[in-house]
Amino acid sequence: MKVHFLDLVSYQTKRSTSGKQGINPPRLLLEAFLVLIALGACLLKLPFATVEPVTWMEAAFTATSAVTVTGLVVVDTGSQYTLFGQLVILGLIQLGGLGLMTFAVLTALALGFKLRLEHQLAAQEAFNEISLQTARRAGGSIAAFALTAEAIGVVLLGLFFVPELGWSEGLYQALFYTISAFNNAGFALSPESLSGYVDHPGISLSVTALFITGGLGYIVIMELFDKRCWSRLSVYVKVILLATLLLNLIATGAILLLEFGNPATLGALDTFWDKLLAAWFQGVTPRTAGFNTLDIGALTAGTSVLMLLLMFIGGAPNSTASGIKISTFVILIAATRSFLRGNLNVSFFKRSLSSETVLKALATTTIGMAVVFVGVLTLSILVEDDFLNIAFEVVSAFGTVGLSRGTTGELGTAGQLVIMAVMLIGRLGPLTLGYTLTVRRKSRVRYAQTEFPVG
């Protein structure tokens, strides 16, 4: 979805130059996020927001991590922040997750993505005529979807937390983990995340259901409710569902095999079913959720490398997830497969993709890889740590995942600034931020083709 911001920026610029007032949606979103981060940092710096005073850098890092729904922390959320501070973090997570999802869906609809007609018209008016009333109408439906999913999550998790912790604490933890999970934030009230519930099927499956739903996004879920039949689903939704299922199953199976005999992870669990549950949780969480039931620092090198790929891919467009997006990854795989078969047409379910869509996927991936490379290079200079740990930290920040092998607490001021920038870029999307200051112009000049060796 983020790749489509190009066309919207170009369109709005044309409107500006033709005498009508235009807006630059990516720049507007960036500015809104920066204001929200600044406001969050100020609130977290208040004396009654923390048990012990935090520095401005620690407050800013936490606010950035919350707004970008990442989950990387330099100050433990559960022990260092008061109830007020924790509620501020929850508010930032909700605004950051729901805000970007609403913005992305409105943009998709304004560009003609087929869904309900009234929502498409509302989005078109919202972006083409800058009507706050019609934008609110379409955004209200998205907010209703999110709040309904979160209400169900609170009830489900409350069934397990309340008997253990009592009504007040149990419901509060259910609320906190529901908002954090649905928005793919990964913030936890314990420094060990959800490791204490590694063998608890109710909590593990409820949390994974929440962040998978948030990672699929509004368009996919609403189409499932509307169509209720596989044959009637759009090609896009079919691809997202199949790719999500396949990636989750492959990741679960791979982690089960790689960690089965590791005494520090799966090897410490008693039964096969406990191992399978833990492998499932840790297999589906890297694509932006950020929770863990296993010690991330104790994972084998093979599992860590697999997680690097999963974190870089991310979730679905128009969702609370980040990364290059699963649709981008699938398009690149399909394009490679078509080329190797001697077919220049990329297709899914007997529908062809335009060359522009393939180029957008390629551009998104290239910019994403460039951001990760620069981040790893810079952090390697600033922080003395194992290369795998540094790479893991940067990719986790880019995918707004929140998993860490222990590097976050050792970053220092300069390292924290680097990770904050990577989190923001990863949340806004490589092409969204890359075209904030530039506008694509189609060239009317066509040159003769030439042969150019590749590979």
Three-class SS of 22-89: CCCHHHHHHHHHHHHHHHHHHHHCCHHHECCCCCHHHHHHHHHHHHCCCCCCCCCHHHHECHHHHHHH
d(CA 187, CA 195): 13
Give the bridge partners for 50, in sequence order: 81
- pLDDT tens digit sequence for 267-292: 999 899 999 999 999 999 998 788 99
Q: Compute the half-sphere exposure of residue 173: CA atoms within 13 Å on the CB side of its CA.
A: 22
pLDDT at 122 > cutoff 50: no
- pLDDT tens digit sequence for 146-192: 889 999 999 999 999 999 999 999 999 999 999 999 998 989 998 88
pLDDT at 24: 59
What is the DSSP secondary structure assignment for residue 353, as one 8-state letter? P
Comparing C-alpha atoms, which of 340, 303, 319, 334 is closest to residue 399? 319
- pLDDT tens digit sequence for 208-232: 999 999 888 878 888 888 888 888 8
pLDDT at 408 > cutoff 80: yes
Helix spans in 290-386 (H): 301-313, 326-340, 355-382
| Cβ count near 82 (within 10 Å) | 14
pLDDT at 57: 94
Q: What share of the chain has pLDDT > 90, as a percent?
A: 51
Helix (H, G, I), strand (E, B) or coil at 436: coil
Comparing C-alpha atoms, which of 206, 389, 379 is closest to residue 296? 389
- Please name the residue that has the structure tokens 């519930």: 197
Contact between 259 and 268 under an 8 Å Cβ cutoff? The reply is no
Element (H, E) at 395: helix 387-398
- pLDDT tens digit sequence for 342-382: 888 888 888 888 888 888 888 889 989 999 999 999 999 99
Residues 191, 326, 240: CA angle, nearest 5 degrees: 115
